[in-house]
Amino acid sequence: MSLVDLFLEPTKHFEAQRERPTVLLPLALFVLAVAGFTLAYFLRVDPDWYADFALTMAGREMTAAEIAQAKQFMPSARVQGYIGAVVLAIVLPLMFALFALYYFLAGKVAGAALSFKHAFALVVWASLPGVLGYVVGLVGAFTMAPQTPQHALMLTHVDPLLVQLPFDHAFSSLAKQFDLLALWSIGLTALGWKVMTRGGWGGALFVALLPNVLIYGAWLAWALTR
């Protein structure tokens, strides 16, 4: 079974993907997990508390009158959940497609016979460890106290797993967004690239690490300048 092989025999899995790439199952699982978590959280959270919390996180001081006025124009937590789930269902496939384009072009540069569908399959299958984090978050959303910030449910992220930083800390956003399961995904990406292109580990690790180094390196540099 392809899904089981990814976690137990990843080399065998990517060999099968090299012969016949598939994308619908992993893409559907990822979208359902992320959208489901988002919807579950907003349907469970205390709407009045969340409105105050969101306005506080906006980063500027507001008078009671300004807060009351802002709340009138804010969509309810339930509506935000529905909107968020729909937007994520659209944005996530586009994000995967963008990364697939990177691997497709990297294959061209490396002289590897990697089609766009192969690249897309590599991206979505290698990203599946992240689904585990959202499953944990989904369980947390159904059992949480109503006045719980969303990031507190993502127990595989640096914050809250390893540190708990205040929101005004320079590294707060990075720590709350960095999922430690991404390290697993990077390893799977390197392995998948190696198997699909029949290349070496050096090139595979370089290709897998490059976008992450650029993204998180830029994020870290921005945090250091705050």
**Residue 96: per-residue pLDDT:** 98
In the beta sheet, which residues pair with residue 179? Answer: 157
∠ CA 4-119-184 to the nearest 5 degrees? 45
Return the half-sphere exposure (C-beta side, CA atoms, 13 A cut-off) of residue 126: 30
Q: Average pLDDT of the chain?
A: 93
Given a cut of 70, whether residue 63 has pLDDT beyond it is no
**Euclidean distance between CA atoms 168 and 178, whole angstroms:** 17
Higher pLDDT among residues 64 and 180, named by residue: 180
Q: Which amino acid is at 92?
A: L
Higher pLDDT among residues 54 and 20, named by residue: 20
Residues 5-19 have pLDDT tens digits of 999 999 999 999 999
Residues 74-83 have pLDDT tens digits of 888 999 999 9
Residues 37-47 have pLDDT tens digits of 999 999 999 99
**Strand (E) or helix (H) holding 48:** helix 47-57
Given a cut of 80, whether residue 180 has pLDDT beyond it is yes
Note the Cα 6 to chain centre separation in Å. Answer: 18
